[in-house]
Amino acid sequence: MDVRLIAAIGRRGQLGLDGDMPWGRSFPDDLRRFRELTAGGIVLVGWRTWPTVERLQGTHGRRFVVDDVKLPPTEMLAQLQEPDASGTRNRPVWIAGGAKTYARYARFVDEFVVRRVPYDGPADTWMPDLLGTA
């Protein structure tokens, strides 16, 4: 299974503010990169992140799924590998936030794509220690 994590963080690890990215839509190149990298994949998000990405649903063959925290991560990932309505399977699964979802799936991630944006303002959500080295 191909599991990847994608995130943008501020200079000090800022991840969210009031349910959105603290920098809003100030970095269109980063949003474009997200769209390009996740095209054709399955994007797994937490329930708090869902409203910020819902508008991208279905674009470029991308399928968004809200994490079912009642299932163990292994079961959730196994479900995502079953063929979808179009019969497509074996698409990369992108873990795309928020902080709790990143922490929940970090141990299954094969590739981390984390971009630091030049933001150094307030936040109420921070990137967790994904490698367990803090």
Q: Is residue 51 part of a domain?
A: yes
- Tokens representing 42 are 């399955």
CATH at 13: 3.40.430.10
Q: Is residue 38 part of a domain?
A: yes
Per the structure, the complete domain to which residue 80 belongs is given by: 3-126
Q: What is the pLDDT of residue 57?
A: 66
Sequence-ordered list of residues with C-beta below 8 angstroms from that of 35, at least 6 positions apart, any chain: 56, 59, 60, 62
Segments of the chain scoring below 50 in pLDDT:
none
Structural domain count of the chain? 1
Q: Is residue 133 part of a domain?
A: no
**Rounded CA separation 126/94 (Å):** 19
Q: Is residue 134 part of a domain?
A: no
* pTM for the structure as a whole: 0.91
Sequence-ordered list of residues with C-beta below 8 angstroms from that of 57, at least 6 positions apart, any chain: 63, 64
Q: Is residue 46 part of a domain?
A: yes
Q: What is the pLDDT of residue 122?
A: 98
Q: What is the pLDDT of residue 53?
A: 81
Span 13-36, pLDDT tens digits? 999 999 889 998 899 999 899 999
Q: What is the pLDDT of residue 133?
A: 56
